[in-house]
Amino acid sequence: MQQQRTKPNPIDELRPRIRTRLEEATELLLCLDFDGTLAPIVDDPDEAAPTRAVSNVLEKITDEPDVTTAIVSGRGLADVRERVDGPRIYAGNHGLELERGDSVAVHPIARKRAARVDAVCEALEIALDPVPNARVENKRLTATVHYRSVPEPARPQVERLTRETVSRFGGEGLELSTGKAILEIGPSIDWGKGNAVGMLVADRSDGTVPIYIGDDVTDESAFRTVEPRGVGVRVGDDAPTAASGRVRSPEQVASLLEWFATTGVERVRNGPVP
Ligand SMILES: O=P(O)(O)OC[C@H]1O[C@H](O[C@H]2O[C@H](CO)[C@@H](O)[C@H](O)[C@H]2O)[C@H](O)[C@@H](O)[C@@H]1O
């Protein structure tokens, strides 16, 4: 059953609850979104990179034996893997591809529909060519149309042309969704980040506490997966969400990760402090 969306609490108010969970836990599973969470949002998607503070703390926490770190991104797996180094697990294309150890699992229906995504991207390159700064990101299993740098009056045109093209070349097999100044094109199947995170939780022992930190609409299914056994943390304002906690920015994400890398790890390892 889906949790209702409510206003998230500032993370400081949740720390006692998280501390108690960690004291009872055998392991921490830390699942992290990329854009807007580890990396600040920028105009050019090619320029997105984790902050220095995030990189430093990730280097520390990924070495911890009691912590498993996973990146769960809307980007293609190979792309996000190049941008953030260290974690043991990577999920790309909103969970449609999942790399654990030496194996990469790809959703079979998404794999079959990749040719349609490619056809849509080719058609979109032509259709959107006259629109200044519109950009198509072909991620193989899904695609993104970026309009962050498109002048305001031309944005409805981007949406119209994208809808028409997806409907013409994707048919029933592809669908459109929205994100931060983007339109996402993907297979019309009931699978998202929450399913990928569910697989990761199922892989771990019962004593694992899962944490998910993310900033966008596609992160909501992952928040629902980790709550209430673990904790969802939304990056942004206090708009209603399935996450129980929130931080304001990637800078605050780095501080929270630092807390997990020190206090969090210590509590998992040693239990309550007498
Ligand atoms: O799940 P995520 O890792 O958060 O990926 C979601 C999308 O992120 C990227 O686009 C967003 O970030 C860009 C760089 O900051 C920004 O320019 C854009 O407006 C944002 O929507 C990425 O390019 C997409 O492929 C991801 O789906």
132: domain CATH number is 3.30.70.1020
CB proximity list for 155: less than 8 A, separation 6 or greater: 147
Bridge partners of residue 92, in order along the sequence: 97
Of all atoms in ligand 1, which is nearest to the CA of residue 36? 4
Same domain, 128 and 206: no
The Cα 6–Cα 22 span in angstroms is 24
pLDDT beneath 50: ranges in the chain = 1
Tokens of 10: 């500032």
Please state, in angstroms and as integers, the Cα–Cα distance from residue 270 to each residue in 16, 44, 231, 248, following that order.
Answer: 16, 44, 20, 30
Closest CA relative to residue 213, chosen from 262, 258, 146: 258
Same domain, 169 and 199: no
Residue 243 lies in a domain: yes
Per-residue model confidence (pLDDT) at position 3: 59
Closest residue CA from atom 11 of ligand 1: 35
Closest CA relative to residue 193, chosen from 163, 215, 209, 160: 215
Per-residue model confidence (pLDDT) at position 273: 76
Same domain, 195 and 69: yes
Residue 2 lies in a domain: no
Instruction: Check pocket membership of 179 for ligand 1, CB cut-off 6 A.
Output: yes
Predicted structure pTM score: 0.96
Same domain, 16 and 97: yes
Same domain, 174 and 53: no
Residue 274 lies in a domain: no
> Among 187, 203, 235, which residue terminates a domain?
187
Instruction: Check pocket membership of 42 for ligand 1, CB cut-off 6 A.
Output: yes
> Among 187, 216, 231, which residue terminates a domain?
187
Same domain, 140 and 247: no
Whether residue 145 contacts residue 158, with contact meaning beta carbons closer than 8 Å, is answered with: yes
Q: Is the ipTM of this complex over 0.95?
A: yes
Same domain, 87 and 130: no
Same domain, 207 and 262: yes
Domain extent at residue 202? 9-107+191-269
Whether residue 66 contacts residue 60, with contact meaning beta carbons closer than 8 Å, is answered with: no
Same domain, 26 and 131: no
Same domain, 102 and 196: yes
Same domain, 96 and 197: yes
| Structural domains in the chain (count) | 2
Of all atoms in ligand 1, which is nearest to the CA of residue 79? 25
Same domain, 74 and 197: yes
CATH number at 14 reads 3.40.50.1000
